[in-house]
Amino acid sequence: MDFWARFFRDKLAVAGLAMVLFFFVVSLAAPLLAPYDPNVIDVAKVLQPPSPAHPFGTDELGRDVLSRMIYGAGISLKVGFVAVGIAVIIGVLLGAVAGYYGGWVDILIMRLVDIMLCFPSFFLILAVIAFLEPSIFNIMAVIGLTSWMGITRLVRAEFLTLKERDFILAERAFGAGSLRIIFSHILPNAMAPVLVAATLGIASAVLTESALSFLGIGVQPPTPSWGNILTQGKEVLGVAWWMSVYPGLAILLTVLGYNLLGEGIRDAIDPRLKS
């Protein structure tokens, strides 16, 4: 109750939650909300400006941009959630093992983290995608497998602190095994910063997917995503501004929403950050 009271007092956090929920509902209800089939080509309606029939205009093949953006919301958010899910699973497991056991296990895991952090993440993703077939599943996997290092550090730091607390020492005295201590007692108390990192990570994953699609190595047409709609808009920017403005605004609002939500969760979890 204290968490929610602090969260809802933060107007920016509530605005972020509203934006996130809006795009989430749009992605779930895409078949009901989209006025047209996103892949139907109509050469008689090529590059029509926004109008009552096509509120966001049409693209170079006569497809309705609004419908493609509605369906693209599901693709972009799916990539964000799955990629962050992969990163959280890897980061939590490695961080828990490193923080709990310490010693040479901790040294090996943290050196692996340091090596991964030496490579610029986006260029590492580009290098991996260059050897794989561009697809939504490969994009999700690659983003997740290259973005777990920060979560590993967070979880490790929490474990180093929590494993010396009195309630953990009491569990050891009662004969509790390592797995029980890790998963039943330490991990639930270490998940607050992970939740914040995951929320912010979704915004980063959406941006990465959009950038990859914009470069032509992300989600491949005719599957709509905000990034490849932007790519198509780049070619006709001088005559069809709506193909760049609307998906750009959607990406902006989505990333802003997740960032505001993550900051609000962080402040609500630890109100000392407000001081």
Q: What is the pLDDT of residues 185-223, one digit of tens each?
A: 888 888 888 888 888 888 888 888 888 888 777 777 788
pLDDT exceeds cutoff 80 at 121 = no
**Where is mean pLDDT largest: 34-48, 86-100, 115-129?**
86-100
The one-letter amino acid at 114: D
The predicted structure's pLDDT at residue 272: 53
Q: How far is CA 118 from CA 71, 86, 88, in A?
A: 36, 21, 20
Confidence of residue 275 (pLDDT cuts 50, 70, 90): very low
Give pLDDT tens digits for 68-120. 999 988 888 888 889 999 999 999 999 999 998 888 999 999 999 998 888 77
Indicate the angle between helix axes 226-235 and 65-101, nearest 10 degrees: 130
Task: State how far the Cα of 29 lies from the Cα of 268, in Å rounded to an integer.
Answer: 30
Task: Look at the chain and report how many structural domains it folds into.
Answer: 1
Phi, then psi, of 58 in degrees rounded to 5: -125, 165
Residue 144: give the domain boundaries: 2-274
Specify the CATH number for the domain of residue 221.
1.10.3720.10
